[in-house]
Amino acid sequence: MKMEQIDKNWDLVVIGGGITGAGVLREAVRMGLKTLLVEKNDFAYGTSSRSSKLVHGGLRYLKEGRLHLTYESVRQRQRLLEEAPGLVDEIDFLMPVYKKRGPGRLPLTAGLVLYDLMAGKRYHSYLDRKSFSEMVPGIDPTDLSGGFRFMDAQTDDARLVLRLIFESIENGANAVNYTAATRILRNEKQEVTGVSLADAETGKRTEVSAPAVINATGAWAETLHPVHESDMHLRPLRGSHLVIPAGRLPLSQAVTLIHPDDGRPLFIIPWEGALILGTTDIDHGKDIDTEVTATRKEARYMIDCLNAYFPEADIGLTDCAASFAGIRPILTNKKGALDPSKESREHVIWTDKGLVTVTGGKLTTFRILAGDALKAASPWLPESSMLHLKAPVFTENPQVPEAGENGLSADIWRRLFGRYGKKAISIAANARPEDLVLVPGTHTLWAEIPVAAQTERIRHLTDLLLRRVRMGMLLKEGGRQHLERIRELCEPVLPWDAGRWDEELQMYMDYVNTALRVPSA
């Protein structure tokens, strides 16, 4: 969308198009507020497309005594499982118990009982050594006593953001990507009056008016609104992941691994046709404006942990398809001596005369962040606007078609509805039969790609292949062998000439070979 097409007057401007901004936008629209969201890169470009993709309570937070955060997260997980099928779905977790490594059966039982109590449902069970080994083929049997099975949930983080944004647009909001908020405008009493915006690529500028602005820029929050308490600041912590082709390790459930070197929990999680191994938790120590990437040391740390549990598989960095990394903003004391994994994951809010900053928290708790931010902004919002936090997160989907319709299985229909809402029907109806099959190595239908290209506000090929569909991070070399077919599918719906296509393809491959490269591979 061009700068001059953006309306000038709004009740609320939301800055940042990650999960926090998207969640605020969704709730603001439900409140009847005329709301604009601006994102300086692509929607979900930041941490919200680089998470572990779990919608979870976080068992490890229990161990740290963070009962409140775990409870709120478990309750949100349960709601999202109910309200967003096909986008937030259950995933089984398995956790081995060894005689001489990791936590023993007793403390784990206590934690899992509490976890189930919070969910109001018993999910966990204990498996003996034989049953556990059968469920986790290749797990190191030395001193294995057995293990636990419990439930959590997973999502496609970027698609969760996108569905919130596109449903908000359908309900009257506007959301523009590649548009940076460069300055908060204020009157002589220092009250917020609007925001200066600039197209992140052309530099074209405009100003919009609004009495309230919510700054949901995650790790960048202090760029627009420094923390008011002088001894506090945002500490950017980096978390990295490796993507392993599914064929390399036959896992159909997620497995929790305790790192033999430092006792930190890591996960290996089946996701969208691949396995994700993560994560690290270290001080980023670099400029947050340069692309965040995994280092060789992090990659080795993760792969060593995997090999400690699956020695026979002997997975090396060259087996990995990609790596990706994101930043967690943590509000901390300037001295910042705490172990990164011990820093609080609770969200924080600070306000200043119409400007509300909300940061931290989790993907899982986005509705709590949205509600708290909007409550903090309420003095500057129209009096009649009311929060409806009990409403289902998405509008209800029409009846899911019978399995077999268009040759698609019930699971594929469910996934399509979860990710695209009612647009799922037109994706299937308008597709050629040969496009209603999966891109090899992923759970994406070819038919999704041109529809996303045409209708989901992409500016670049990277937006399409990394965030509308996720093949860029799932496949070796970003799925280079499929680019010709993708071009053929998208040429009719994108206004790009041959020169632009060449540029976009080059830009995409450059990104894949730098930002998503497996260190040292």
Ligand X SMILES: Cc1cc2nc3c(=O)[nH]c(=O)nc-3n(C[C@H](O)[C@H](O)[C@H](O)COP(=O)(O)OP(=O)(O)OC[C@H]3O[C@@H](n4cnc5c(N)ncnc54)[C@H](O)[C@@H]3O)c2cc1C
**Binding interface with ligand X (CB under 6 A):** 15-21, 38-41, 45-48, 51-54, 56, 180-181, 216-220, 224, 239, 279, 326-328, 359, 361-364
Minimum CB separation of residue 124 from ligand X in Å reads 19
Q: Which is nearer to ligand X, 53 or 470 (CB)?
A: 53
Q: Which is nearer to ligand X, 119 or 327 (CB)?
A: 327
What is the distance between the terminal CA atoms of the chain, rounded to a whole angstrom?
A: 39
Q: Which is nearer to ligand X, 97 or 370 (CB)?
A: 370
The number of beta carbons lying within 10 Å of the beta carbon of residue 291 is: 10
Closest by alpha carbon to 348, among 235, 238, 239, 237? 235
275 neighbors 320 (Cβ within 8 angstroms) = no
Minimum CB separation of residue 265 from ligand X in Å reads 12
Place of tokens 């979900």: 44
Q: Which is nearer to ligand X, 19 or 322 (CB)?
A: 19
Minimum CB separation of residue 510 from ligand X in Å reads 19
Minimum CB separation of residue 246 from ligand X in Å reads 19
Q: Which is nearer to ligand X, 450 or 472 (CB)?
A: 472
Q: Report the distance separating Cα 341 and Cα 161, nearest Å.
A: 25
Minimum CB separation of residue 100 from ligand X in Å reads 29
Strands (E), 51-199: 54-55, 88-98, 125-128, 144-155, 174-176, 179-186, 192-199
Q: Which is nearer to ligand X, 250 or 336 (CB)?
A: 336
- Please count the CA atoms within 13 angstroms of the CA of 470 that sit on its side-chain side: 30
Q: Report the distance separating Cα 47 and Cα 52, nearest Å.
A: 10
φ, ψ dihedrals at 369, nearest 5°: -60, -45
Element holding 130 (H helix, E strand): helix 129-135
- Please count the CA atoms within 13 angstroms of the CA of 62 that sit on its side-chain side: 22
465 neighbors 472 (Cβ within 8 angstroms) = yes
Minimum CB separation of residue 399 from ligand X in Å reads 30
Minimum CB separation of residue 281 from ligand X in Å reads 8
112 neighbors 150 (Cβ within 8 angstroms) = yes
Q: Report the distance separating Cα 323 and Cα 346, nearest Å.
A: 27
Q: Which is nearer to ligand X, 276 or 431 (CB)?
A: 276
Q: Which is nearer to ligand X, 40 or 443 (CB)?
A: 40
Q: Which is nearer to ligand X, 184 or 431 (CB)?
A: 184
Minimum CB separation of residue 172 from ligand X in Å reads 21
Q: Which is nearer to ligand X, 16 or 96 (CB)?
A: 16
Place of tokens 């940076």: 180
Q: Which is nearer to ligand X, 132 or 366 (CB)?
A: 366
Q: Which residues have CB under 8 Å from 212's CB, separation 6+?
A: 11, 12, 13, 192, 354, 356, 377, 380, 381
φ, ψ dihedrals at 390, nearest 5°: -90, -10
115-124 CB contacts, 8 Å cutoff, 24+ apart: 115/57, 115/59, 115/62, 115/70, 115/74, 115/150, 116/150, 118/57, 118/70, 118/71, 118/74, 118/75, 119/57, 119/74, 119/77, 119/78, 120/78, 123/150, 123/151, 124/148, 124/149, 124/150, 124/151
